[in-house]
Amino acid sequence: MTFSEEDLPPRKKKLLEPPVLDSFGVEELTLYITELEAEIIRVREAMKAKQAHAAAAALFFKPPAGA
C-alpha cells in the first residue's frame, strides 16, 4: 500500500522563522534575545487573557445548582 502526500496530515506552519545567527555579532544576538523575551511576555499575557475569558464564560454558562 502506498501513500501520497495528500494522505499525510498537513504540516504545521512555523509561526516564527528563526534567522541565521552566523552573521550576528554579540550585540545583535543580545538585542535578538531581548526581542524574543519581550515576545514571550506578550504571548504569556495573551494566554492569561484567553484563560480568564474562558473561565468567565465557564462560570456564566455553568448550569444552576440542583438542575
The tens digit of pLDDT for each residue in 13-47 reads 888 899 999 999 999 999 999 999 999 999 999 99
CA distances from residue 16 to 2, 7, 13, 51 in whole angstroms, order as listed: 33, 26, 9, 23
pLDDT category of residue 3 using cuts at 50, 70 and 90: low
Looking at residue 13, its pLDDT comes to 81
Q: How far apart are CA 12 and CA 17, in angstroms?
A: 13
Give CA angle at 14 (9, 20), nearest 5°.
135
Looking at residue 20, its pLDDT comes to 96
Looking at residue 61, its pLDDT comes to 83
Say what the pTM is: 0.66
Looking at residue 25, its pLDDT comes to 98
